[in-house]
Amino acid sequence: MQLGAHVLRNGLFVAPMAGVTDRPFRTLCRRFGAALAVSEMTSARPELRGTRKSRLRREHSGEAGPVSVQIAGADPAQLALAARLNADEGAQIIDINMGCPAKKVCNVAAGSALLSDEPLVGRILDAVVKAVDVPVTLKIRTGPAPERRNAARVARIAESAGVRLLAVHGRTRACGFRGQAEFDTIAEVKTAVRIPVIANGDIATPEEAVRVLAHTRADGIMIGRAAHGRPWIFREILAHLEGRAAPAPAPAERRAVALEQLQGLYDLYGEELGVRIARKHIGWYVRPLPGGEAFRREANTITSSVAQLAAVARFFDSLHEPQ
């Protein structure tokens, strides 16, 4: 798949997820086969640009390219400036968030709230595309509400503005994450534009990935929550698409991957914050395993990185059979 000057090795994408898709997580997902891992959403508002949280979300030093940074906001000029600043900092792709359903984002008319104002969508996309020389991509939902699905119209606006790729989550803003994603609208979007379309939503297994690709005729799929504590899902999907079987990772591999991610979190965030952020990732890694829920509760009481690493290592060492 061609995206500007970048040739992506496949159509597997990591969804941008606030509080999840930081540099350590993106690095692992890319290693297991994802062609592109989009950063956490960063605000275009000037007063938030210099905060520690925003700086860490833009941290991609040493990361394999292409580096894709997602920006969010509702003001065309602010978003254009944010795009230029991120490109100057090394972003090779700028992604625009028009898909987040969170109230704190939609309450400032950003994220998926923008889908209710198609003229503003056009002005934002025009401004950002003109502001940078790197490819601009867009993440949307299927519309503001089930009775107002307008993803195909928004897709045509995006293509006309010069957006190079579109990812579509198969729910509306009003749906949040409730119910099941639907893919008929994504199939409609695919027929409406010539730019690559990536399908997103409720894809948790290799079999589901194949079904969604067949149903939508999309150019690729984007995985979000299914990769929590399971970055090897991209390896499994690739194998399935190629007609091969991908065995589940043995405890030793799960152990090595989990410990590497934890160390990456400490390196990025520092001791105190790194330990706190690591707790949810530990939970995701261990929950499906024997004794995982009890260990998750125990791990949530650990306050040092050394003790956290040692406890996780002991847990995986106690697993003698592949799960």
HSE-up of residue 149 (Cα within 13 Å, Cβ side): 19
Spatial separation of the C-alpha atoms in residues 303 and 259, rounded to whole Å: 16
> So what's the pLDDT on residue 49?
78
HSE-up of residue 304 (Cα within 13 Å, Cβ side): 3
> So what's the pLDDT on residue 307?
97
Q: What amino acid is encoded at 239 in this protein?
A: A
Give the list of residues 6+ apart from residue 33 with CB closer than 8 angstroms, or none: 10, 12, 234, 235, 237, 238
> So what's the pLDDT on residue 128?
98
Return the H-helix or E-strand segment holding 297. helix 292-299
Integer Rg of the chain from CA: 19
> So what's the pLDDT on residue 53?
85
Which domains, ranges and CATH numbers included, belong to the chain? 2-241 (3.20.20.70), 251-317 (1.10.1200)
Alpha helices in 132-177, H assignment, sequence order: 151-161
What does the DSSP 8-state code read for residue 113? G
> So what's the pLDDT on residue 323?
43
Spatial separation of the C-alpha atoms in residues 28 and 230, rounded to whole Å: 10
Q: Which residue has the tokens 């990769």?
A: 227
Give the list of residues 6+ apart from residue 278 with CB closer than 8 angstroms, or none: 261, 262, 265, 266, 305, 308
Q: What is the pLDDT along the chain (323 residues), one digit of tens a residue?
A: 889 899 999 999 999 999 999 999 999 999 999 999 999 999 888 888 778 888 888 888 888 889 999 999 999 999 999 999 999 999 999 999 998 776 666 656 578 889 999 999 999 999 999 999 999 999 999 999 899 999 999 999 999 999 999 999 999 988 888 889 999 999 999 999 999 999 999 999 999 999 999 999 999 999 999 999 999 999 999 999 999 888 889 889 999 999 999 999 999 999 999 999 999 999 999 999 999 999 999 999 999 999 999 999 999 999 864 44
Return the H-helix or E-strand segment holding 258. helix 251-269
Other Cβ atoms less than 10 A from the Cβ of 51: the count is 12
Q: What is the pTM of this model?
A: 0.92
Catalytic positions: 100
> So what's the pLDDT on residue 24?
96
> So what's the pLDDT on residue 103?
65
Cβ neighbourhood burial of 210 (10 Å; 0-12, 13-18, 19+): middle
What does the DSSP 8-state code read for residue 221? E
> So what's the pLDDT on residue 273?
96
> So what's the pLDDT on residue 122?
97
